[in-house]
Amino acid sequence: MKFNFTKLQGTGNDFVLIDCLKEPELDYIGAAQALCDRHYGIGADGILLVLPSDKADICMRIINADGSEAEMCGNGIRCFARYVYENGIVTKEEFTVETGAGILVPKMILKGGQVSLVQVDMGEPILEGNKIPVSGYGNNRVVKETIKVKGKDFKMTCVSMGNPHCVVFVDDAEGFPIYEYGPLFESHEKFPQKTNTEFVEIKDRSHLRMRVWERGAAVTLACGTGSCATLTAAVLNGLADRKAEIQLDGGKLIVEWADNNHLYMTGPAEFVFTGVAEI
């Protein structure tokens, strides 16, 4: 079956977008696994699906490269939002998107009439252990708690942005053996739905360096929900101010934990190319 696609990236987190308002219905699980393969497919961290919504202006689904479905993706929603805005699917500069993590609100930031950046109201962080979920903490927050991985003790702070995150502060994010520890955190028994894991170095109170192991996608160049979880965890540990620049492998995001308890993430979303695929 042939269909049109658009490839986009946000701080290096890349996606194949399929406009399901125009294209025939596909086996999205199989499509994600085929299209995201970087040797035999287009290559991406996941696929984004544009769908109608009876709850919001538009609906986004995201399927990871391994075929699992994610509740949300911060870089993905920026790419999704720019696509639907610039293709006239929505005409407002600020609009609502139905996601697996609830309804979120992206806003186009224009410069000279063109989209320069995309800001997303990512909603409120979820901090209760059983809602993240993290086993063994009930309704309590999971802040600077010990977790043993491969015989070594780490301190974790856990946050959900509609998807689970485990934030671990390290002395050297660049040198941390993420490929060794990332999959072990993801599948650790404390995380019944697995977890995304951020390894974070504090540069100063407004500059953080973060690397991420994403659930279902392994190491990626960026993670928007992970950046929001990172700032939240840093604030809860008294390590950062409520607005900071998050340096990722693929670029920078600005995250603010505002007085209304919502997290606002601002960053780029860029078109890469369009094409026709057949699977």
CA proximity to 142, closest of 124, 155, 161, 123: 155
Separation CA 191–CA 185 (nearest Å): 8
Which amino acid belongs to residue 71? E
CA angle 120, 121, 124 (to 5 degrees): 140
**How remote is the C-alpha of 219 from its chain's centroid?**
12
Q: Which of these is catalytic: 59, 73, 158, 166?
A: 73
Separation CA 263–CA 129 (nearest Å): 19
Q: State both tokens at 270.
A: 């860029």
Q: Which of these is catalytic: 20, 79, 158, 223?
A: 223
Tell me whether residue 20 is one of the annotated catalytic residues: no
* CB distance 234 to 271 below 8 Å: no
Separation CA 176–CA 181 (nearest Å): 9
Buried b (16+ CB within 10 A) or exposed e, 209-233: bbbbbbbbbbebbbbbbbbbbbbbb
Mutual orientation of helices 74-86 and 224-236 as an angle, nearest 10°?
A: 130
- Listed in sequence order, the residues at least 6 apart from 269 whose beta carbon sits closer than 8 Å to its beta carbon are 8, 9, 10, 75, 78, 79, 81, 82, 115, 117, 118
Tell me whether residue 223 is one of the annotated catalytic residues: yes
Q: Which residues does the annotation mark as catalytic? A: 73, 223
